[in-house]
């Protein structure tokens, strides 16, 4: 939720995002408006095209209807002429020759159901129908009543009526029959097949036609499509519209009307030439717009896809802009942090561009050079150095700086130079690095004042020297004290114990044979004195073997190795040179103490079966190595060295030698010591 609020706030603040959104909305609005205008124009054009098609179709249908009725009229006129000539007048209307004539006139006319003859009494007496059995009255029909009243010779077309024979809807085309004297003889009637016109109209399957009607002059429906049969014989055209149609007998008329559901219709009216009829094709607005929808729907879909693409592209662009602005903000924050860090560094930092202008000068640099950053930034480095440094020191720095400019990018150069402040020179560690930024080489110089570090190093060296001298003095004092105690134990205490033993022995020899218990006591005392003498000798030897001072290192080493081998049972291979270290010297003492501590560690920890010891003199240095086949140990895994190893390492370091220990678990241990033959 917090990130969403931050994103919305960034959207509101970002001018580039606002511009992208406005541009996208403008593109979408232009696309939608342009598409809407085009669709409206196509809509209007399609409706105008539908009206034009209705007018054209009404003319075509009028011509077809005229030809259909012309065929019927010709057949009726031909029958009228045959029945009105001398032969025909001599035939009875219900005779067989008349029936054959009627059948001949019907053949080849699919639009005619039948042709029949009505006598002057209104009785249908003959017919072309094969199922005609007996006469029936049609005196009530319009076609008969019309000719009772009228004396003209015109063709009469009735309104639709139910046929008496089959009960189907039909209408009639009739002509007057007269006898030789010109009196009314009867009526020749053709029953029109309404289904013929219905099939004809339904066969016309066009997108711009919804229905086709055949009307008479009074607007009564004569024929249409099958769904219009309920309206046959009814007036479906308003009187006012009829007057407009009659005023244009030769021209088509296209009108707009509405149905009961409020649907819009475009209806064309065209008079049938020579007959009291008119054809009326019509199209519903929904049907008229089918071609328009075929174009509009893909167009709308395409517009929606383009809008979706624009929205998607806008969204991706906005995300990119937001990410870019977020990165720019983060970069600014990082730059601010970096500048803060650079300013807080205790080392002086100075950056120079390829033109020699100072572009970075931190607070430590202000203190070191005695100049303010505002007075330095943008100035030539030569001018900055001339204000704060002597000429010789400035030239020394410039040599390093020029070398840094010529070096490859990223190469760091280290050097020691001197700078001056307040008339006092002080050592500085200089680090130069170059980098390329936007095609420009930048050189950064980092100055570290070494005055304090050198003072601390000098103090540390002096302290270490004093500690080593103190440690050496302690070693010497310790060895001297051991020697003094060892001699006193050996000379004074040993001699006293020996004298006591001799006195006790003398007393024992003076005892009487009758005193066996006293003799046992004397023997026990002698054993105690012997043990004390042995302990004094052992302690004296461990403190400082007199043989080391009296006979030298080789004798002391052989004596100590022999004791070690007897005590541990380990096999020892001792190799010594012909020349010994100087008797009683510090080097001899150090070599013996290292050998002594090494064997002690082997006895305690190594569990070794054999030990190899070698001492040699090479290039004025004594080389002592002690190795065993014991368990060894991991010197890297060990947290700290033991006291014995520390003591040996410190003793060798005091004497200016080298100490090396090689060991690993399971492979034993090897100790190597290198000491100078003579101390300087």
Q: How many CB atoms lie within 10 A of CB 63?
A: 14
Q: Identify the H or E element spanning 264.
A: strand 264-271
pLDDT at site 255: 78
Evaluate whether 6 touches 322 at the Cβ level (below 8 Å).
no
Where does 90-219 have alpha helices with state H? 96-106, 142-149, 194-203
Domain spans in the chain, listed from the N-terminal domain onward: 53-303, 345-449, 457-541, 551-676
pLDDT at site 12: 63
- Each residue of 374-395: pLDDT tens digit? 888 888 888 877 777 787 777 7
Where does 129-284 have alpha helices with state H? 142-149, 194-203, 239-247
Mean pLDDT of 651-670: 86
Tokens of 654: 């005091």
- Each residue of 514-533: pLDDT tens digit? 677 777 777 778 778 877 77
Collapsing DSSP states into helix, strand and coil, what is residue 666? coil
Angle 586-601/643-654 helices, nearest 10 degrees? 160
**Whole-angstrom distance, CA of residue 395 vs CA of residue 402:** 10
Residue 582 main-chain phi, psi, to 5 deg = -60, 130
Number of H-type helices and E-type strands within the chain: 20, 22
Mean pLDDT of 575-580: 88
Residues facing 23 on adjacent strands = none
Give the predicted TM-score (pTM) of the model.
0.48
**Whole-angstrom distance, CA of residue 413 vs CA of residue 399:** 12
pLDDT at site 639: 47
Per-residue pLDDT band for 591 (boundaries 50, 70, 90) equals: confident
- Each residue of 336-366: pLDDT tens digit? 787 777 777 778 888 888 788 888 888 887 7
Q: Identify the H or E element spanning 670.
A: strand 669-676
Best CATH choice for the domain 345-449 from the list 3.40.50.11930, 2.60.40.420, 3.40.50.300, 3.30.450.20: 3.30.450.20
Among 114-123, 181-190, 227-236, 589-598, the range scoring the smallest mean pLDDT is 227-236
DSSP 8-state class, residue 380: B
Measuring CA to CA, how many Å separate 444 from each of 351, 392, 400, 433, 551? 4, 21, 11, 5, 69
Q: Which CATH superfamily is domain 53-303 in?
A: PAS domain (3.30.450.20)
Measuring CA to CA, how many Å separate 665 from each of 322, 597, 645, 668? 61, 20, 17, 7
Mean pLDDT of 250-271: 79
DSSP 8-state class, residue 139: T
**Whole-angstrom distance, CA of residue 239 vs CA of residue 243:** 6
Residue 80 pLDDT > 90: no
| Between 148 and 462, the higher pLDDT residue | 148
Residue 645 pLDDT > 70: yes
Angle 536-539-540 from CA coordinates, rounded to 5°: 80
Residue 498 pLDDT > 60: yes
- Each residue of 305-329: pLDDT tens digit? 999 999 999 889 888 888 888 888 8
> What is the rounded average pLDDT for all residues in the chain?
80
Question: Is the CATH number 3.90.228.20 carried by domain 551-676?
Answer: no
Q: State the residue for tokens 């004195």.
A: 529
Q: State the residue for tokens 């205008």.
A: 37
Kindly tell me the burial class for residue 106, based on how many C-beta atoms sit within 10 Å of its own C-beta (0-12, 13-18, 19 or more): buried
- Each residue of 394-423: pLDDT tens digit? 777 787 777 766 665 555 556 667 676 666
Residue 363 main-chain phi, psi, to 5 deg = -65, -40
Give which of 151, 177, 119, 157 is closest to 127, Cα–Cα: 119
- Each residue of 118-135: pLDDT tens digit? 998 899 999 988 888 788
- Each residue of 41-74: pLDDT tens digit? 998 998 888 888 888 888 888 888 888 888 889 9
Mean pLDDT of 554-560: 84
Q: Which residues of 521-541 are buried (b: 16+ CB within 10 A; e: fewer)?
A: ebeebbeebeebbeebbeebb
pLDDT at site 537: 62
**Whole-angstrom distance, CA of residue 247 vs CA of residue 8:** 72
Asked if the domains 345-449 and 551-676 are classified in one and the same CATH topology, the answer is no
Residue 603 pLDDT > 80: yes
Among 12-16, 182-186, 469-473, the range scoring the smallest mean pLDDT is 469-473
């Amino acid at each position: 939720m917090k990130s969403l609020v931050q994103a919305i706030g960034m959207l509101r603040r970002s001018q580039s995002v606002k511009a992208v959104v406005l541009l996208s909305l403008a593109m979408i609005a232009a696309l939608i408006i342009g598409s809407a205008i085009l669709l409206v124009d196509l809509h209007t054009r399609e409706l105008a095209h539908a009206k034009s098609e209705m007018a054209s179709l009404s003319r075509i249908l009028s011509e077809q209807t005229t030809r259909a009725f012309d065929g019927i009229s010709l057949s009726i006129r031909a029958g009228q002429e045959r029945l009105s000539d001398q032969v025909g007048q001599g035939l009875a209307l219900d005779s067989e020759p008349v029936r054959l004539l009627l059948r001949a006139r019907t053949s080849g006319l699919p639009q005619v159901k039948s042709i029949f003859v009505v006598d002057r009494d209104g009785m249908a007496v003959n017919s072309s129908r094969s199922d005609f059995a007996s006469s029936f009255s049609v005196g009530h029909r319009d076609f008969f009543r019309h000719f009772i009243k009228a004396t003209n010779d015109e063709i009469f077309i009735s309104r639709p009526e139910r046929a008496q024979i089959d009960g189907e809807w039909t209408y009639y085309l009739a002509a007057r029959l007269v006898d030789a004297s010109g009196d009314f003889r009867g009526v020749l009637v053709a029953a029109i097949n309404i289904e013929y016109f219905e099939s004809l109209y339904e066969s016309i399957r066009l997108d711009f036609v919804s229905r086709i009607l055949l009307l008479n002059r009074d607007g009564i429906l004569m024929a249409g499509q099958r769904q219009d049969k309920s309206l046959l014989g009814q007036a479906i055209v308003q009187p006012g519209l009829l007057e407009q149609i009659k005023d244009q007998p030769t021209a088509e008329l296209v009108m707009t009307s509405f149905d009961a559901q409020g649907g819009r219709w475009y209806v064309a009216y065209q008079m049938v030439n020579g007959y009291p009829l008119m054809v009326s094709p019509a199209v519903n607005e929904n049907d008229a717009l089918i071609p328009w929808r075929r174009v509009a729907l893909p167009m709308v879909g395409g517009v929606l896809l383009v809008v979706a693409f624009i929205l998607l592209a806008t969204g991706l662009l906005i995300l990119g802009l937001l990410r870019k602005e977020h990165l720019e903000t983060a970069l600014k924050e990082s730059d601010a942090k970096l500048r803060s860090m650079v300013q807080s560094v205790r080392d002086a930092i100075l950056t120079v561009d390829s033109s020699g202008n100072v572009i970075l000068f931190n607070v430590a640099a202000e203190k070191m050079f005695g100049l303010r950053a505002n007075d330095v930034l943008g100035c030539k480095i030569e001018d900055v150095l001339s204000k704060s440094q002597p000429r010789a020191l400035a030239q020394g720095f410039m040599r390093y700086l020029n070398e840094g400019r010529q070096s490859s990018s990223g190469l760091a150069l280290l050097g020691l130079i001197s700078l001056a402040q307040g008339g006092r020179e002080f050592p500085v560690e200089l680090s130069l690095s170059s980098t390329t930024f936007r095609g420009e080489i930048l050189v950064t110089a980092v100055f570290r004042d070494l005055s304090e570090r050198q003072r601390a190093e000098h103090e540390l060296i002096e302290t270490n020297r004093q500690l080593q001298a103190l440690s050496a003095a302690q070693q010497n004092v310790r060895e001297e004290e051991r020697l003094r105690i060892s001699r006193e134990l050996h000379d004074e205490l040993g001699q006293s114990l020996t004298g006591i033993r001799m006195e006790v022995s003398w007393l024992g020899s003076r005892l009487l044979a009758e005193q066996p218990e006293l003799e046992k006591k004397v023997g026990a005392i002698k054993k105690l004195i012997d043990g004390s003498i042995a302990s004094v000798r052992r302690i004296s030897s461990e403190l400082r073997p007199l043989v080391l001072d009296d006979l030298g290192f080789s004798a002391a080493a052989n004596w100590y190795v022999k004791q070690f081998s007897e005590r541990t049972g380990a096999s020892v291979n001792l190799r010594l040179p012909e020349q010994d270290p100087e008797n009683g010297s510090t080097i001899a003492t150090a070599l013996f103490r290292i050998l002594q501590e090494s064997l002690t560690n082997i006895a305690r920890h190594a569990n070794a079966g054999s030990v190899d010891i070698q001492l040699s003199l090479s290039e004025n240095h004594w080389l002592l190595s002690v190795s065993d086949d014991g368990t060894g140990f991991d010197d890297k895994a060990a947290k700290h060295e033991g006291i014995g190893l520390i003591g040996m390492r410190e003793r060798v370091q005091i004497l200016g030698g080298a100490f090396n220990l090689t060991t690993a678990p399971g492979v034993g241990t090897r100790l190597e010591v290198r000491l100078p033959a003579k101390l300087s």
